[in-house]
Copies of this chain bind each other. A is one copy, B any other.
Amino acid sequence: MAGKLFVISGPSGAGKGSIVEKLMAKDDKLYFSISATTRPKRDYETDGREYFFVSREEFLDRIEKGKMLEWAEYAGNYYGTPAGPVDEKLNAGCDVILDVESHGMYSVKALRPDAVTMFVYPPSFAELERRLRKRNTETEERIQSRLKQSRLECAHAQDYDYIIINDDLELAAEEARAIMTAEKCRTAERLHILKEDKTL
């Protein structure tokens, strides 16, 4: 039985990363997809841990051959999700979760219509602003730009299958876990098992 593909998105500060961490901690058959990038590796990074580091030629070749589930260019570098490792894990029966922005979700959903998509919403934009300011590492201009970006990103929530409002991290992670469990109980998934089992 192949695994299921999940997509999680949400603006910076909504707590997507913490939810994924909680999911991974309780599910050793869940694989978190690692992106590929053409940007140079930094000293503290390891190939295949933070990113798969590939050359520009290799990346463009993968795009052309349809080997990327989604990709984008930022500041002259390419970033994206290679299909290979995702399919490998799915075929081995693991679930896979992709942390991508909304444009990435649209691309994944177009290529893999059975992917289940979740959008993590902040409890409020006031709280999101508070969280961004708490990091205390950015200029006012940068914070305003991030908030604007967050509002734009949240406008895509309506195109996702599920919305998780991250007011309380434990509850939000529980909701994400429930969504993953429920999706595996869907009749289309289970009929397959029933048909394979000769005793049923």
**Sample of 16 further A-B pairs with CB below 8 A, known A163-B187, A182-B183:** A121-B190, A124-B199, A125-B199, A126-B199, A157-B191, A158-B187, A159-B187, A160-B187, A162-B186, A162-B190, A163-B186, A164-B185, A177-B178, A178-B181, A179-B182, A181-B182
Tell me if A194 and B124 are in contact (CB < 8 A): no
Q: What are 30 A-B contacts with C-beta separation under 8 Å?
A: A118-B185, A121-B194, A121-B200, A122-B200, A124-B197, A124-B199, A124-B200, A125-B199, A154-B200, A157-B191, A158-B187, A158-B191, A160-B187, A161-B186, A161-B187, A162-B190, A163-B187, A163-B191, A163-B194, A164-B185, A165-B190, A175-B181, A175-B182, A175-B185, A178-B178, A178-B179, A178-B181, A178-B182, A181-B182, A182-B182
